[in-house]
């Protein structure tokens, strides 16, 4: 542990992406009473896309976005910056749960990603988007054949995928832990997530969205023909509300049964020297993941640091969330050790940032999009760690639902049928721990145990 401790000793306990001088100025908090056609709660990617799209669809509609902290404070400003077309947590998972709709979901996911890229370009958002794909690596013998099968599956569904043997994968990115790889050149890429959020904030303001930051919504209730939205220093009389609050304590209590708040941990290193870069290769500068149930995701940043996250997803009893949970020595030390196991040639490198963020996991690993309060409220949450692109799809679908529009999006089983609920406490915590242990066992042995097979039958899981 000591080399991990040394490497972490100066790491700032804040997300790397938002730690910069050129963050846009904050919008003022809401003070007093106002009214609006649509109130959006939550200033992450879901809320921002919803605000922009609502104004674009109807510029006469007044749209107010209320954010408890600041734009990009939540998962949207603290993620890995992998952007993926998938709406189903990957092709294999989509095929397992919605085989008939998979082609449609793939097309919609691809269109969504293309539209995001077009918007970023048209608005000149400096988010460094590169649709460079990614490489998945096998680090355990049983994963080699799984990657071979996965390559075939991706090819079958039109993705540009190739299987890499041990020499090929190590010629690309060099780690002694790699046994094989799958290079996916289509369907995903990398960006700077905070710069995306801030660019969307600018686009929303330009379109006339009224944004109030440091404005936590404390309650929403039916009032006359609309909704009353309460904040500490004010209130909004709204015709409709769109809830985009990820896994934060939900204003709509029923979401607790579908969404598990999971803390996912991340480290960022200091910039690599040119010798260190030569030692690892990585010339295509793509995103990387390993292949277990508990997996790492890692990538280079524009200034040649390495962002290294994932693996140790932590659930706290009773859906607890708090700022204190954003630092966990045990998880950060584990990540640091695993980093140096993967890249022993980088020993001595130091970490400059460490943080955790909230992942909104559903039992189906796919978003939960629906309505409440007589159809006056819609919500889109539950992206289960894959929401950088899917959040736009969720926002558009929630707007469709608020407009009571039947669209290709709202007709999807993903929207029509809710995932299975997680059990309430005190059962929830031990069930999650038991499932985590079963997943870790499968990662070690390559054997899917009985408990996981039972969950498979019900389409249930636990994932970051
Ligand atoms: C560590 C980490 C790594 C990830 N990596 C990736 C990745 O590489 N690729 C990928 O596709 N996905 C990734 N994800 C998931 C992705 O970041 C999320 O799915 C996505 O950002 C969700 O956006 P959101 O707007 O729904 O939620 P958030 O960005 O969390 O926004 C919700 C906002 O609501 C605000 N809020 C909460 N309650 C209230 C209230 N009562 N009143 C007002 N405001 C409130 C919060 O302050 C927050 O800003 C990762 C997530 C984490 C945590």
Q: Which atom of ligand 1 is nearest to the CA of 48?
A: 25
Q: Cα(233) to centroid of ligand 1, in Å?
A: 24
The encoded tokens of residue 209 equal 């969205």
> 159 in a domain, yes or no?
no
Q: Which atom of ligand 1 is nearest to the CA of 356?
A: 1
Q: Which domain holds residue 442?
A: 428-457
Same-domain status, 4 and 90 = yes
Residue 460 pLDDT? 73
Distance (Å) of CA 462 to CA 283, 433, 452: 34, 10, 10
Per-residue pLDDT for 359 more than 80?
yes
The encoded tokens of residue 137 equal 């690596």
Q: How sure is the predictor about 459, in pLDDT bands with cuts at 50, 70 and 90?
A: confident
Ligand 1 site-directed mutation target among 44, 77, 85, 192, most atoms within 8 Å of CB = 44
> 171 in a domain, yes or no?
no
Number of domains in the chain: 2
| Nearest to 217, CA basis, from 464, 385, 30, 8 | 30
Q: How far apart are CA 382 and CA 360, in angstroms?
A: 5
Interval 307-350: pLDDT, tens? 999 998 999 999 999 999 999 999 999 999 999 999 999 999 99
Same-domain status, 77 and 25 = yes
Q: How many CB atoms lie within 10 A of CB 275?
A: 8
Average pLDDT over residues 218-223: 97
Q: Which atom of ligand 1 is nearest to the CA of 384?
A: 19
Q: Cα(449) to centroid of ligand 1, in Å?
A: 32
Q: How sure is the predictor about 455, in pLDDT bands with cuts at 50, 70 and 90?
A: confident
Is residue 415 within 8 Å of residue 404, measured between CB atoms?
no
Strand partners, 234: 32, 231
Average pLDDT over residues 442-454: 89
Residue 456 pLDDT? 81
Q: How far apart are CA 135 and CA 157, in angstroms?
A: 17
Average pLDDT over residues 275-295: 95
| Nearest to 134, CA basis, from 107, 162, 108 | 162
Distance (Å) of CA 207 to CA 193, 330, 404, 456: 21, 45, 24, 45
The encoded tokens of residue 201 equal 């904030």
Q: Cα(174) to centroid of ligand 1, in Å?
A: 32
Average pLDDT over residues 346-370: 97
Q: What is the mean pLDDT of the chain?
A: 96
Same-domain status, 451 and 409 = no
| Closest residue by CA, ligand 1 atom 32 | 245
Is residue 440 within 8 Å of residue 135, measured between CB atoms?
no
End-to-end CA distance of the chain: 25
Per-residue pLDDT for 461 more than 90?
no
Residue 232 pLDDT? 97
CATH number at residue 216: 3.50.50.60
Residue 464 pLDDT? 45
Interval 156-183: pLDDT, tens? 999 999 999 999 999 999 999 999 999 9
Residue 4 pLDDT? 86
Same-domain status, 124 and 205 = yes
Q: Which atom of ligand 1 is nearest to the CA of 388?
A: 11
User: 426: cis peptide before it, omega within 30°?
Assistant: yes
Q: How far apart are CA 39 and CA 35, in angstroms?
A: 9
Crossing angle for the helix pair 45-57 and 390-402, nearest 10 degrees?
50
> 316 in a domain, yes or no?
no
Residue 281 pLDDT? 95
Q: Which atom of ligand 1 is nearest to the CA of 217?
A: 42
Residue 462 pLDDT? 53
Interval 383-437: pLDDT, tens? 999 999 999 999 999 999 999 999 999 999 999 999 999 999 999 999 999 999 9
Q: How far apart are CA 70 and CA 76, in angstroms?
A: 11
Distance (Å) of CA 375 to CA 143, 207, 221, 227, 370: 46, 26, 12, 11, 9
What share of the chain has pLDDT > 90, as a percent? 93
Give backbone dihedrals phi and psi of 289, rounded to 5 degrees, phi first: -140, 155
Same-domain status, 434 and 394 = no
| Closest residue by CA, ligand 1 atom 37 | 245
Same-domain status, 447 and 414 = no
Average pLDDT over residues 147-155: 98
Q: Cα(75) to centroid of ligand 1, in Å?
A: 3
Q: Which atom of ligand 1 is nearest to the CA of 263?
A: 53
> 333 in a domain, yes or no?
no
Per-residue pLDDT for 1 more than 90?
no
Average pLDDT over residues 52-70: 98
Strand, coil or helix: 101: coil
221-230: Cβ within 8 A, 24+ apart: 221/373, 222/373, 222/374, 222/376, 226/376, 227/39, 227/373, 227/376, 227/377, 229/39, 229/41, 229/66
Strand, coil or helix: 338: helix
Same-domain status, 48 and 109 = yes
Q: Cα(78) to centroid of ligand 1, in Å?
A: 8
Interval 87-128: pLDDT, tens? 999 999 999 999 999 999 999 999 999 999 999 999 999 999
Q: Cα(63) to centroid of ligand 1, in Å?
A: 20
Q: Cα(125) to centroid of ligand 1, in Å?
A: 19
Same-domain status, 85 and 8 = yes
Per-residue pLDDT for 463 more than 70?
no
Query: Taking CB atoms and a 6 Å cutoff, what residues make up the pocket around ligand 1?
Result: 41-47, 66-69, 73-76, 78-82, 84, 216-217, 244-246, 248, 251, 264, 266, 297, 309, 357-359, 383, 385-388, 391
């Amino acid at each position: 542990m000591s080399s991990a401790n040394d490497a972490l000793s100066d790491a700032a306990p804040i997300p790397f992406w938002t730690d910069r001088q050129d963050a846009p100025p904050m919008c003022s908090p809401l003070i007093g009473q106002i009214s609006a056609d649509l109130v959006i709660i939550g200033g992450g990617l879901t809320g921002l896309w919803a605000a922009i799209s609502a104004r674009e669809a109807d510029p006469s509609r007044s749209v107010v976005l209320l954010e408890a902290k600041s734009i990009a404070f939540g998962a949207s400003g603290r993620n890995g910056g992998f952007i993926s077309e998938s709406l189903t947590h990957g092709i294999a998972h989509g095929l397992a749960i919605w085989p008939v709709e998979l082609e449609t979901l793939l097309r919609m996911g691809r269109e969504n990603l293309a539209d995001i890229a077009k918007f970023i370009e048209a608005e000149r958002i400096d988010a460094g988007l590169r649709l460079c794909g990614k490489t998945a690596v096998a680090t355990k013998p049983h994963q080699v054949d799984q990657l071979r099968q996965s390559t075939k599956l991706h090819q079958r569904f039109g993705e540009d995928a190739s299987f890499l043997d041990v020499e090929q994968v190590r010629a690309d990115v060099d780690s002694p832990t790699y046994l094989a790889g799958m290079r996916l050149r289509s369907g995903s890429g990398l960006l700077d997530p905070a710069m995306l959020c801030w660019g969307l904030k600018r686009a929303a303001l330009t379109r006339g969205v009224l944004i109030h930051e440091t404005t936590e919504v404390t309650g929403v209730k039916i009032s006359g023909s609309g909704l009353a939205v309460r904040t500490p220093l004010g209130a909004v009389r709204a015709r409709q509300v769109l809830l985009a609050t990820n896994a934060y304590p939900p204003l709509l209590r029923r979401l607790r049964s579908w969404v598990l708040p999971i803390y996912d941990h991340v480290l960022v290193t200091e910039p690599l020297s040119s010798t260190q870069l030569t030692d690892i290769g990585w010339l295509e500068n793509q995103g990387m993941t390993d292949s277990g149930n508990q997996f790492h995701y890692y990538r280079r940043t524009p200034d040649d640091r390495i962002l290294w996250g994932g693996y140790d997803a932590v659930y706290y009893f009773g859906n607890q969330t708090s700022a204190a949970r954003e630092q966990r020595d045990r998880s950060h030390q584990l990540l640091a050790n695993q980093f140096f196991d993967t890249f022993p040639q980088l020993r001595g490198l130091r970490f400059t940032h460490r943080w955790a963020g909230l992942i909104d996991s559903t039992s189906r690993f796919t978003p939960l999009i629906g309505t409440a309060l007589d159809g006056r409220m819609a919500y889109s949450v539950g992206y289960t760690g894959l929401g950088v692109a899917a959040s736009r799809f969720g926002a558009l679908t929630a707007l469709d639902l608020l407009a009571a529009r039947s669209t290709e999006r709202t007709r999807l089983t993903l929207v029509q049928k809710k995932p299975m609920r997680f059990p309430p406490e005190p059962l929830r915590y031990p069930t999650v721990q038991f499932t985590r242990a079963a997943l870790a066992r499968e990662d070690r042995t390559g054997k899917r145990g009985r408990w996981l097979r039972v969950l498979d039958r019900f389409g249930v899981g636990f994932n970051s």
